Structure 1
Amino acid sequence: MTSPPMTSPHRLTDAVVVGGGHNGLVAAAYLGRAGRSVRVLERDTVPGGAVSTIERFPGYRVDRGSSAHLMIRHSPVPDELSLSAVGLTYLDCDPWAFCPATDTTGPIVFRTDLDATCASIERACGPEDAAAYRDFVATWTPRAEALMRSFYQPATPGRFAQAFGTLGTTATTARRGPIGARSGRMLSLTQELMSSGDALLDRWFRSEQLKAALAWFGAQSGPPMNAPATAPMIGFAALMHRIPPGRAVGGSGALTEALLRRIDSDGGEVRTASTATEIGRCGDHWRVRTADGEGHCGRTVISACHIMTTLELLLAGGFDADLLTRWRSQIVVGTGIGMAVRLGTRDLPTYRDLPGDLPAHGVHSGLGLLVSDRAHLRRAEAAAAVGELPARPACVAMSYSAIDPSLAPADRHLITLWAQWHPRRLADGTSWSAAEHFATDAIIAELERHAPGITDSVEHRFGQTPEFLESELGLVGGNIMHVEMSIDQMFMFRPHPDLSDHTVPGADGVLLAGASTHPGGGVTGASGRIAGLAAVARTRRRRR
């Protein structure tokens, strides 16, 4: 849903949003809800960025980026924007994940129901790990909830200290005991939060199969689980027993379509095929110039595209080149995270040794964590670090046509495989156009290892290499998180300490959103909400 061209493109609006990904649209929706005029400029002909769905194969609704929505369902965004009223419907992914059987153990099936999950862990891994998992969920649920709350507020040193100091401790617990004991407990908690995911898993569990499943769940953010401060990425699994991942009916892009309807209903405007070329001054306000030569003036500009793109736009608009160069040199984009393979098939994958008490759709509502030991993850990450393709890709399988038949033609299915890690550039100089077929074959072979016969069922295939993700979706370096999600680029360090409060020093009125900013990548809507509410407050102050 896009608005027709304006007859007066120079009309001053309250806000111009650069980038129509889901965070840019969330920001625009908050402005519209508050009665502000807003215009969104998106370079692509398809709005939504990595949260969009198209007909990649005849009769199939294929996601271009994300598929499962894990975090936005734990946020205030859907309710505050009344997205259900404009058609957004989520299906609960239950089971929400599973780890396939090995030669010596059965599968682990993660259900919303904690008792059912623990029963599955007990069958596969033994009673000790089942009891440990129950304690793990009880311990990490309040911690993960506190972290989630911090994601939807601007990042400040105080909030960082709170998130990594006292989160997860109740007021009663914090007050209990002498000062030295309280301090010791908080330091111990901080140490656990700052530890690696692998260290956390080794403290809690014995089964390598369970450790591998949880490590792979946590690694979706990008950093390997032996990196510092990756423990909370695993801790988010505890929240899935409160609200599981959701599958938007009709595809991931259904979220974008709901946001477009919300913006339209509140008088906002979204222009596609409108490539921004500069962000500069427009008298006392700001102007975004587009490739067609038009200038779009606003009291506020929210740049919700990649931070490197934003810096280029500011440079073109006359901003301090030396300062932009310093920021650019200190932001680590990384070398890519992975690639996706989309398959149109006759059948769903058939995994072995699944229990008989599953719902009719089996495990196909969940994330198929296709690893059985952490060495598999480490080898894949190590290969990418030196610019090589992994001998065995580490894959997540998703078969959501089992719960949403609208995604594929009758008697057909849509399967998405996400594989980490794959570098943006290959060390031997091989181009991705030459490597795509081989890399896609290797990813499908990994699914075949766990679901024999699925290869023969494939009728359509489409590989999204890191290079393709960069060119189609504007993901610089093929990094779906925009910039690395390492601890030195999170919270008040993301994407740079100077830019971490979603503003640009020296450019009052230019706000930042998108995966480059706090809290990072994934379908959260968080940075869009932060920037949108900041823009509303700013226009309120100016009106006063």
Structure 2
Amino acid sequence: MHPAKSSYDVVVVGGGHNALVAAAYLARADLSVLVLERLGHTGGAAVSVEPFPGHPARLSRYSYLVSLMPEQLMADLGLDVRLASRTAASYTPWTRGGRSGGLLVERPEGEATRESFRELTGGDEEYAAWQAFYGEVGRLAEAVAPTLLEPLPLERDLRGLVEERTWADVVEHPLGRAVTARFSDDTVRGVVATDALIGTFASLDDPSLVQNRCFLYHLIGNGTGEWRVPVGGMGAVTDALARAAVEAGAEILTGAGVSRIDPGPDGAEVTWHDGERERSVTGRRVLSGVAPWVLRILLGEGEDPGSKPAGSQLKINFLLDRLPALKSGADPAVAFAGTLHLAEDYSQLESAYAAAAAGSVPDPMPGEVYCHSLTDPSILGDRAGSAHTLTYFGLHTPAGIFDADPSAREVATRRAIASLDAVLAEPLAGCLARDADGNPCLEAKIPQDIEKDLAMPGGHIFHGDLEWPWAPNRSRLDTAAQQWGVQTAHDAVLLCGSGARRGGAVSGLGGHNAAQAVLADL
């Protein structure tokens, strides 16, 4: 396929969910839009696949929950997508003094949550601290969330809306300070801390505060912090976005891996190869859905190994014939309904970070497990009711470990399963389904796989370290691109992906904000 024209108002490089959001908004505004996607399909990391031969189960292979995508954005684009709430927020198995139990956090929290804290800690003080902390963080989220679809606020404008202690705890000092000061139980501390470490390799005491920024993003989705399951799998979200873009008039070309972007005085030329020959078009504006590190290469600035992002996660997708029993005796349909925390006590998280920083695969391996099929059985096809999916997301598994040791993938996978087996009354292996060839239904993805499959440098799921979703007080906000946090060094080239200031996770914010900057200019 080749483009219908030689010149467009906007050319979008990459066909991930943010790129599709931008294309849909711009095409609905009657601009001519061309989307160029390297792979044979759109969706980027937000796709569904059937990875196990002989089973119809559609797994969200990479991105697995919808976090920050505002309801207003979904309404603007008329997306026919349903996001389902999980019936529990989290469950954290524990064993102390020969007793096995589990810390259950309901959604919404009720008496069972209070009793669960009491059983773990022996009193009500820790739950009171939990309620106070998350009440304060919730008010911070309520202040930040409405700004995400607006030009960047200045830091001082938001700070004035938030309690002084909350701002200090989340924005000014390493998060570990607040967690250890506000909570006394090691398990409770760990449950709080894990939201700071998803895809982020850092100590809770890291002075860069990268962990704080990750924590904030996990807590501000729609002002509630709730991460929801897309009914039909993650591919349902990006399929709906692609339909919205095409129905509005955008052109989408797949199999079009861009090799060069040449900015000029009135726009930019974009060059790619379609498998037969090199092609190029011009755009008054070019939006980049690829990581900023990759964009610099496309702009002719060369590779800079020293600034290349490095991801830190181990993703394992499983298909089970049934959910396993837990040592605590908890109903698996409750324990697996939300986020199941494994080896994520605060002390374990910090020990795992130290081990990984020294080049070793952590043991025990901290991670968390999600069972999407409890919330959305439709992803199982004709196996609904007779099978379940499990998604494991491991922390403190930086790309460097796997670069240094080819056996680290197998070791990390084995230790991830061991962390799960440690809380089960039966080995996970006995519950695993088998594919058509008799192999266990298990696929593991490390950062190197994500880079290979999706061209995300270093396999970093956020395209690089997250930034605060506001502008520093002394920022230059002269142009629309600066005001929306999507600027590059070239006026005609804007960021529209996870590398935008408010990008990261499945939110569509990068795409929305880039589109608004274009509409303010053209």
- TM-score of the two chains, using structure 2 as the length reference: 0.86
Alpha-carbon distance change, 258 to 130 in structure 1, aligned in 2, over 3 angstroms: same
Kindly indicate whether the alpha-carbon contact (under 8 Å) linking 1:347 and 1:454 is maintained by their aligned counterparts in 2. no
Cα drift, residue 96 of structure 1: 2.1
Alpha-carbon distance change, 241 to 450 in structure 1, aligned in 2, over 3 angstroms: farther
Of 303-312 and 130-139, deviating more is: 130-139
Alpha-carbon distance change, 354 to 288 in structure 1, aligned in 2, over 3 angstroms: farther
Give the whole-Å Cα distance in 2 for the aligned partners of 1:266 and 1:240: 26
Q: Which residue of 2 aligns with 1:443?
A: 416
Give the whole-Å Cα distance in 1 for the aligned partners of 2:402 and 2:63: 28
Tell me the alpha carbon deviations over residues 343-363 of structure 1, each in whole angstroms, 9 at most, x when there is no partner: 12211233343657xxx9323
The amino acid across from 1:167 in the alignment is: L
Alpha-carbon distance change, 427 to 64 in structure 1, aligned in 2, over 3 angstroms: closer
Alpha-carbon distance change, 519 to 137 in structure 1, aligned in 2, over 3 angstroms: same
Tell me the alpha carbon deviations over residues 2-37 of structure 1, each in whole angstroms, 9 at most, x when there is no partner: xxx346341x22211001111111111211222222
Please give the residue correspondences for 1:194-273 in structure 2 after superposition, counting only pairs within 5 Å. 194-222=172-200, 223-228=202-207, 229=209, 230-231=211-212, 233-234=214-215, 236-237=218-219, 242=224, 244-273=226-255
Give the whole-Å Cα distance in 2 for the aligned partners of 1:241 and 1:309: 32
From 251, 255, 271, the counterpart of 1:289: 271
Q: Which residue of 2 aligns with 1:353?
A: 328
- Give SS of 1:78's match: helix
Q: Which residue of 2 aligns with 1:50?
A: 45
Kindly indicate whether the alpha-carbon contact (under 8 Å) linking 1:367 and 1:397 is maintained by their aligned counterparts in 2. yes
- Tell me whether 1:403 sits opposite 2:382 in the alignment: no
Tell me the alpha carbon deviations over residues 329-377 of structure 1, each in whole angstroms, 9 at most, x when there is no partner: 88x4443211211112211233343657xxx932333111213521211
Cα drift, residue 251 of structure 1: 1.1
Kindly indicate whether the alpha-carbon contact (under 8 Å) linking 2:214 and 2:466 is maintained by their aligned counterparts in 1. no
- Tell me whether 1:423 sits opposite 2:398 in the alignment: yes
Tell me the alpha carbon deviations over residues 135-154 of structure 1, each in whole angstroms, 9 at most, x when there is no partner: 22222211122233444445
Kindly indicate whether the alpha-carbon contact (under 8 Å) linking 2:317 and 2:390 is maintained by their aligned counterparts in 1. yes
Alpha-carbon distance change, 211 to 429 in structure 1, aligned in 2, over 3 angstroms: closer
Q: Which residue of 2 aligns with 1:311?
A: 296
- Give SS of 2:401's match: coil
The amino acid across from 1:275 in the alignment is: G
Kindly indicate whether the alpha-carbon contact (under 8 Å) linking 2:137 and 2:166 is maintained by their aligned counterparts in 1. no
List 4+ stretches of structure 1 deviating above 6 A.
238-241, 496-500
Cα drift, residue 187 of structure 1: 7.9
- Tell me whether 1:81 sits opposite 2:77 in the alignment: yes
Alpha-carbon distance change, 512 to 233 in structure 1, aligned in 2, over 3 angstroms: closer
Please give the residue correspondences for 1:453-532 in structure 2 after superposition, counting only pairs within 5 Å. 453-458=427-432, 459-485=440-466, 492=471, 501-505=485-489, 507-532=490-515
- Give SS of 2:287's match: strand
Cα drift, residue 53 of structure 1: 1.0
Cα drift, residue 212 of structure 1: 0.8
Of 435-444 and 246-255, deviating more is: 435-444
Q: Which residue of 1 aligns with 2:93?
A: 100
Give the whole-Å Cα distance in 2 for the aligned partners of 1:421 and 1:286: 40
Cα drift, residue 453 of structure 1: 2.2
Alpha-carbon distance change, 154 to 380 in structure 1, aligned in 2, over 3 angstroms: farther
CA RMSD between the two structures = 2.9
- Give SS of 2:236's match: helix
Fraction of identical pairs, as percent? 25
Give the whole-Å Cα distance in 2 for the aligned partners of 1:352 and 1:237: 30
The amino acid across from 1:463 in the alignment is: A
The amino acid across from 1:227 in the alignment is: D
Alpha-carbon distance change, 263 to 140 in structure 1, aligned in 2, over 3 angstroms: same
Q: Which residue of 1 aligns with 2:437?
A: none
Cα drift, residue 396 of structure 1: 1.1
- Give SS of 1:521's match: coil
- Give SS of 2:519's match: helix
Alpha-carbon distance change, 497 to 95 in structure 1, aligned in 2, over 3 angstroms: farther
Kindly indicate whether the alpha-carbon contact (under 8 Å) linking 1:333 and 1:484 is maintained by their aligned counterparts in 2. no
Tell me the alpha carbon deviations over residues 67-89 of structure 1, each in whole angstroms, 9 at most, x when there is no partner: 122222x5532222221xxx211
The amino acid across from 1:466 in the alignment is: P
Figure out how many residues of one structure are paired with residues of the other and give that number. Answer: 491
- Give SS of 1:344's match: strand
Alpha-carbon distance change, 134 to 283 in structure 1, aligned in 2, over 3 angstroms: closer
From 110, 127, 150, the counterpart of 1:130: 127
- Tell me whether 1:68 sits opposite 2:65 in the alignment: yes
The amino acid across from 1:442 in the alignment is: R
Q: Which residue of 2 aligns with 1:180?
A: none
Give the whole-Å Cα distance in 2 for the aligned partners of 1:513 and 1:166: 29
Give the whole-Å Cα distance in 2 for the aligned partners of 1:509 and 1:168: 36
Kindly indicate whether the alpha-carbon contact (under 8 Å) linking 1:61 and 1:251 is maintained by their aligned counterparts in 2. yes
Give the whole-Å Cα distance in 2 for the aligned partners of 1:435 and 1:131: 41
Give the whole-Å Cα distance in 1 for the aligned partners of 2:369 and 2:64: 11
Give the whole-Å Cα distance in 2 for the aligned partners of 1:168 and 1:297: 45
Tell me the alpha carbon deviations over residues 230-251 of structure 1, each in whole angstroms, 9 at most, x when there is no partner: 4565465587994632100111
Tell me the alpha carbon deviations over residues 471-527 of structure 1, each in whole angstroms, 9 at most, x when there is no partner: 00112112112212377xx7558xx9999731223x222111212221242112111
Give the whole-Å Cα distance in 1 for the aligned partners of 2:312 and 2:456: 11
Any gaps of 5 or more consecutive residues in structure 2? 433-439
- TM-score of the two chains, using structure 1 as the length reference: 0.82
Of 380-389 and 226-235, deviating more is: 226-235
Please give the residue correspondences for 1:330-409 in structure 2 after superposition, counting only pairs within 5 Å. 332-353=307-328, 361-408=333-380, 409=382
Give the whole-Å Cα distance in 2 for the aligned partners of 1:41 and 1:536: 20
- Give SS of 1:422's match: strand
Cα drift, residue 99 of structure 1: 1.3
Cα drift, residue 400 of structure 1: 1.0
Alpha-carbon distance change, 7 to 382 in structure 1, aligned in 2, over 3 angstroms: closer
Q: Could you say which structure has the higher helix fraction? A: 1
- Tell me whether 1:537 sits opposite 2:509 in the alignment: no
Kindly indicate whether the alpha-carbon contact (under 8 Å) linking 1:198 and 1:231 is maintained by their aligned counterparts in 2. no
The amino acid across from 2:161 in the alignment is: L
- Tell me whether 1:162 sits opposite 2:154 in the alignment: no
Alpha-carbon distance change, 245 to 378 in structure 1, aligned in 2, over 3 angstroms: same
